[in-house]
Amino acid sequence: MNIRALRRHLPSQGTERSEKLADKLLRGDKLQGELRGQAMEQLTTVPEPWLERLEGEGLAYVALGYHDDLSQTDLITSYDPDRLRIEAKEARKLSSKVQVDVENELKADLEAETDDFRRHMLERGKVDLLKERLAAELDAHNLGFAIRVTRDLTPLQFIEGENGIVAGQFDDYGPPSETERDLFREVLLELNGQEAVADAGSDPKGYHLADDATLEPANDILLIPYKMYGKKRLSEVSKASYSSINGMLMDQHMGAHYWPNRLIVMDDEVAVLPSTKTGNHSVLLHETGHAIDYIAEKIDGQNHRETIDRMYKEDMELAKSGDDRFLTDRARDNAREYFAEAVEAYLTQPVEDEAWYKQENHYVALQEGNPRLYEYVDTLMKLPAIAKDQ
C-alpha cells in the first residue's frame, strides 16, 4: 500500500477478491497505469462485502480528463447491428400503433371541421401530438431512436449528413449491410417502412436506398436510427445525456455519482491520493459512500434511511444549541452528504503533513466528534456479504 491516508483495519479490506471486484468496477480508458493503481488502492479499502454489492449493482467508476466526455469512453458501448435491427422492429410496431391511435382520435374532429385553415391547423397539431406520444412510448420501452419532424421532401443524404453518416471508402464495393451507410439505410427502412420513401433512387447495388433517394414520411414523422459520434453508434438521446457528463464539469465538481445510471465519475486529477486539487480527500471514497447509502436503503431490516435521516436531523438540532458534531461543511448539506462524508472519514486516517483540504474528515475525528455516527458506519462496514444462493 502506498497511500498513507487510507485506513485499513478490517480483514475484509484489501483482499485478493477485492482486487478482482475493483478491477471490474474501474472502467474507462483513463483509469489505466498509475491512475488505475491509485484508484484500485482506494477502492479495495472498501470492505469486500460492499464491493460485492457494488459490483452486483453493475456500478462503474470512470475518470475524465478536461476535454473528455462520457460518450467517448469505452463505458458507452456502441449499438451493434443486431441490437439495432431488433430494436428497430420494436419501435416500428410502437410507431404504427401510435399513428393509428392518433388518427382515430383526430378523425372525428377533422371530419367536423369545414374551415380549410382550421383543418390545416389540426393537421399540424397532429404531428406534434404524434411526436409527443411516440417519444413517450419509445421512452417507456427504453428505445433511444430520435424523432425528426420532416414536413418536406428530404434527400436521404441530408438526413445522413445530420447524423454523421459519411460514405466510406469501400461503400461501393462492400457487400450490402456491411458498411455504415448500408446499415444506417437498412435500419432507417426498418424503422419507417417503405412508405416513408418518396423515391428509392437509382441504386447501383439494387439494394436498400440509393444515394439519390428522397424521403417523405406519411405523417411527417421520421425515426432516426442513430448518430455517429466518436466512431460510435449512439442514439440521439444517449449522445446528448452522455456528452453532458464531461471533464469540464468534473473539473468544477471533482466527482459526481449518477445512481440511476450506476455511475461514478471523477476528475482524472483527483483519482490520485493525495491530489494537488483535494489533498487527502478521496473523491472516490466519498462517491462510493453515496452508492453505499443507496444500497443500504434496500437491505431488509437495516432501517438505514430512517436511521441516517434521524441522526442527521438530531445533529442539526444539536448544532443549533452549540454542540456541533459535523466534521465538514459538506456533511451539513443534507443527510446523504452527511453519510457519504462519514463513510469517507471511516476509511481515512489522519496524515498530518499532507493534509490541507478537508483535513478534519478522518476516522479519529469521527470517532471522537460523533461516536454514534461512527458506531453506525462501523456496523454497516462490517456487514457480511449477501448469500450467493439467495
Buried b (16+ CB within 10 A) or exposed e, 213-248: bbbbbebbbbbbbbbbbeebbbbbbbbebbbebbbe
Smallest separation, CB 61 to Zn ion (Å): 15
**Measured distance CA(135)–CA(37) in Å, rounded:** 43
Interface with Zn ion: number of residues (CB under 5 A) = 2
Give whichever of 62 and 189 is closer to Zn ion, judged by the CB atom.
62
Give whichever of 122 and 316 is closer to Zn ion, judged by the CB atom.
316
Smallest separation, CB 283 to Zn ion (Å): 9
Smallest separation, CB 126 to Zn ion (Å): 46
Coil, strand or helix: which one is 302? coil
- Segment (H or E) for 137: helix 116-140
- The span of 68-76, 229-237, 330-338, 345-353 binding Zn ion (CB under 5 A) equals 330-338
Give whichever of 137 and 360 is closer to Zn ion, judged by the CB atom.
360
Smallest separation, CB 340 to Zn ion (Å): 5
Which residues in 131-160 contact Zn ion (CB under 5 A)? none
Residue type, 130: L
Compose the 331-350 pattern: x for residues touching Zn ion by CB under 5 A, - for all others: ------x--x----------
**Measured distance CA(197)–CA(130) in Å, rounded:** 19
Buried b (16+ CB within 10 A) or exposed e, 37-69: ebbbbbbbbbbbbbbbbbeeeebbbbbbbeebb
Smallest separation, CB 257 to Zn ion (Å): 7
Give whichever of 196 and 340 is closer to Zn ion, judged by the CB atom.
340
Give whichever of 134 and 377 is closer to Zn ion, judged by the CB atom.
377
Which residues in 3-22 contact Zn ion (CB under 5 A)? none
C-alpha grid cell, residue 182:
448500408
**Measured distance CA(42)–CA(7) in Å, rounded:** 10
Give whichever of 84 and 340 is closer to Zn ion, judged by the CB atom.
340
Residue ranges with strand state E in the chain: 60-64, 146-149, 154-155, 197-199, 214-215, 221-224, 227-229, 232-234, 255-258, 263-267
Contact at 8 Å (CB) between 66 and 251? Answer: yes
Nearest residue to Zn ion by CB is 340
**Measured distance CA(386)–CA(390) in Å, rounded:** 8
Give whichever of 159 and 266 is closer to Zn ion, judged by the CB atom.
266
Smallest separation, CB 351 to Zn ion (Å): 21
Sequence-separated (6 or more) residues with CB below 8 Å from residue 215: 150, 153, 154, 155, 156, 159, 192, 196, 197, 198, 222
Smallest separation, CB 330 to Zn ion (Å): 7
Give whichever of 247 and 289 is closer to Zn ion, judged by the CB atom.
289
Smallest separation, CB 316 to Zn ion (Å): 17
Contact at 8 Å (CB) between 348 and 280? Answer: yes
Smallest separation, CB 336 to Zn ion (Å): 7
- As beta bridge partners, residue 124 has none
Give whichever of 8 and 330 is closer to Zn ion, judged by the CB atom.
330
Which residues in 240-259 contact Zn ion (CB under 5 A)? none
Q: Summarize as ranges the residues that interact with Zn ion (CB under 5 A).
A: 337, 340
